[in-house]
Amino acid sequence: MSDKDLIEKTINSQHIFSGKFLQILNDDVLLPDNKPAKREYVKHPGGVAIFAIDDENNIILERQYRHPTHEVIVEIPAGKLDPNEDTLECGKRELLEETGYTAKYWHKLGSIFPSVGYSSENLVFYIAKDLEFTKQHLDDGEFLEVYKQPINDFINDAYSGKIKDGKTMAGLVLLLGYLARQ
């Protein structure tokens, strides 16, 4: 079976909601067998997530309250893409804004679709090394704690369930693959 045998054809698309950066759409589609169906999904601009690692093999992490979960969540620095923004430039901007760090070395690890069933979000992962701390530049209304943790402790926390953030957990697979090749 080829990809074309699986593709749904959009017949009509209706915007249900438009927010600051998210849109909710309701599409009428034709399934591969030509039967009609509806698809509700979130249109997302995409984002970048960064595994920033210092010279002592510590990873830079954040603790931030996330309202949808009503919990403080441990996660890697990340942020959404601005319109027409390059992913590497977004990564550099987000790392500086959220953590105060810049990096001389950047390597793209890969990308994922975090929630393919209901969102178009594409998340690109980078590793950043050769870090230098300058100053944090948080957005208005953004509150988070930045801290360092040895990579092995971070991996143990991920496997023990202390880290619940999906992007951080998914990116860990890419990070482990990168580290295994070093």
pLDDT tens for the chain, residues 1 to 182? 899 999 999 999 999 999 999 999 999 999 999 999 999 999 999 999 999 999 999 999 999 999 999 999 999 999 999 999 999 999 999 999 999 999 999 999 999 999 999 999 999 999 999 999 999 998 888 899 999 999 999 999 999 999 999 999 999 999 999 999 98
Strands of 23-30's sheet, edge to edge? 9-18, 23-30, 36-43
Contact between 53 and 63 under an 8 Å Cβ cutoff? The reply is: no
3-class SS letters over 112-156: ECCCCCCECCCEEEEEEEEEEECCCCCCCCCCCEEEEEEHHHHHH
Q: Are 42 and 24 in contact (CB under 8 A)?
A: yes
The predicted pLDDT at position 148 comes to 98
Give pLDDT, residue 6.
Answer: 96
The structure tokens 């441990």 sit at 74
pLDDT score at 130:
98
CA pseudo-torsion sign 82, 117, 65, 167: negative
Q: What is this structure's pTM? A: 0.94
Give the model's pLDDT for residue 4.
92
Q: What does the pLDDT read at residue 90?
A: 98
Q: Residue 5 gets which letter from DSSP?
A: G
Which tokens hold the place of 142? 């953004």
Q: How far apart are CA 89 and CA 84, in angstroms?
A: 11
Predicted pLDDT of residue 139: 85
Sketch out the chain's domains with CATH numbers.
3-43 (no CATH), 47-180 (3.90.79.10)
At 174, the amino acid letter reads: L
